[in-house]
Amino acid sequence: MPNDQNDKPPRPALNPGPANRFALVFFLIVAGLFAAYFMRGNAGAEAKEIPYSSFTAYLDRGEVDAVKILDGNMIEGTLKGSGGDTGYFRSMIPYEDPQLLAVLREKGVKVSGSVSGVTPLRILLEFLPWMIGFAFIWMMFRQAQGSGNKAFQFGKSKAKRYLEAGKKMSFADVAGQEEAKYELQEVVAFLKSPQKFTRMGARIPKGVLLVGMPGTGKTLLAKAVAGEAGVAYFHMSGSDFVEMFVGVGASRVRDLFEQGRKSAPCIIFIDELDAVGRTRGAGYGGGHDEREQTLNQMLVEMDGFDSKDGVIILAATNRPDVLDPALLRPGRFDRQVVVAMPDVKEREAILRIHAAKVPVSPEVDFARIARATPGTSGADIANLVNEAALFAARTDKADVGMEDFEEARDKVLMGVARKSMVVSVKERKMTAYHEAGHALLHYYLKYADPLHKVTIVPHGRALGMAMSIPEEDSYSRTKGWIKDRIAIMYGGWVSEKLFYDETTTGTKQDIQQATELARRMVCEWGMADELGPIAYGQEEEPIFIGKEIARHKDYSEDTARRIDSAVKAVLDSSLEAATRLLDEHKEELRKLAEALIERETLEDNEVRELLGMPPRPETSVFAIDATESVMASVESVAVPVVPESGGA
């Protein structure tokens, strides 16, 4: 039966490889040498070791028959035993005795002597400890090389090479991104038949930079290019170049391009290029650090005297603004391909690709799920499908149904429902009125997105949520939509004030988001009539940090007061609108809150039925909008998901 881990038959218990055989032979040789040494040492084991004083006493009594002097300090010999017996002895001469030979001659002792030569065995035994030490170091070095530790290869590239074995990735495996794939088709065509371009005198871009938000599929596109072209593909992260040892990064760059040159035509893909390609001279410690040496070497390799024909460099980053300008000039990364967030049709295609790997119920409507997930990336959708499969597996279902996808979407976009959390009756009631205030405004504000669901079941750090969904993907927002969004954010605060004449700490996030959105309306988007379309307070982003940590004050104190006044005017008008509408529909607000206390979660159709409103057409439902972190920028490619939360 195949092994579950790697489908390989179990290895025999005794199957010594070349390394093991060498170790065994080496051990036997060492053991033999030690045995020879001890046998040599024990060759005269029959001789009795006696003190030198005893030897002189035997000599004085005439009991010594013959002696042999070795190296001038060791004496061996035989004794005249009674009855003709002989005894062997050995003694060490502890001091210089010039009278010894005269006494031996006087006593008639037969004297012989020798100087022990330096034999090969003795030399071997003396050098044996050194040989063992060098052999141990050599074996450790070979083990480090063979085990993949690369202990002595700091300067070698850590690039992983993906061979063409098995199923190759192709553009068919990448849903959507038609414009990006069109741009990359030229790279594929050049790698397949470069003569078609060189004949016309055309030069293919040496480097292609994939720019997009995290999870949009930049790495996937690079693999698809390699699969379509059928060439070697080297993958390496930007952070893999930099080590604590000086010069390692530049050495790894050289080694990476050397590998690519040997495998040409090939593709070298560097993920997270901003880790090594940031603008030079922007660090705290000056301009000559290890990262900059690595970047300099990369610049030379990409466009130096030594051409790298057939080597295409692909790189991915979500921070092109911090890259060194020398990287982006023609001859290096002279083409930028934008990998955008998927639209509704592309989200549906991505859903179908990932859902093909799991058993899906025929009732699942992928178009509906795609409309319900605006602003999500391909990685988010893959995670959603996986979560839906996990939900179905927990309940022992045969396939993944629509309710599993709904639950997975809520978990991915809102967090895990904390149904076991103990909430007091009073706090639960206040949360219900807070969320009802958010939800009800969706039905009476002109530009508000349709409500999808309102719940008082805690999710993540929020005690409740009201979720709205746009009817279609939107790439920009109007002033009316933003003001209605701020009014919805104030809905919870106003509802608490109407029914309890006080507010809770659960309004903190709503107020923060409303204030930030109003300030951006005034300072960035020019939506304040009294100030006009002027940008105030340009953001400063230190390149070595890469975060917005400061806002440069490039205006006077008088202008600052006018900005504060304009921001307050926006907030006051939205708060007034929310207060007026909720006060006019106070009974509906009460009814909605009581229904939430009883049923915990209400969807749009249930709220409409409760309040006696006509049902919404099917084509306009499902997608989630929220109020948790207000749009990173309203003019961005996709509108992020924003939960309107109650308490934190």
Q: Which residues belong to the active site? A: 435
> Is residue 605 helix, strand or coil?
helix
C-alpha closest to that of 492 among 480, 504, 483? 504
C-alpha closest to that of 636 among 520, 469, 496, 463? 520
Q: Cα separations (Å) of 306 from 258, 301, 302? A: 11, 8, 9
The answer to whether the beta carbons of residues 388 and 357 sit under 8 Å apart is no
Q: How far is CA 261 from the centre of its chain?
A: 28
What region, left, alpha or beta, does residue 312 occupy, with left being phi > 0 and alpha being psi -120 to 50 degrees?
Answer: beta
Q: Which parts of 415-474 fold into alpha helices (H)?
A: 425-441
C-alpha closest to that of 641 among 463, 507, 449? 449
Q: Which parts of 374-478 fold into alpha helices (H)?
A: 378-394, 402-414, 425-441
> Is residue 489 helix, strand or coil?
helix
Count other Cβ atoms within 10 Å, centred on residue 617: 8
The answer to whether the beta carbons of residues 469 and 622 sit under 8 Å apart is yes
Distance of alpha carbon 589 from alpha carbon 569, whole angstroms = 26
Q: Cα separations (Å) of 163 from 120, 226, 238? A: 54, 10, 21
What token pair was written down for 383?
Answer: 């995670």
DSSP H or E segment with residue 268: strand 266-271
What is the phi/psi pair of residue 391, to 5°?
A: -60, -45
Task: List Cβ neighbours of 114 (8 Å cut-off, separation of 6 or more).
Answer: 68, 70
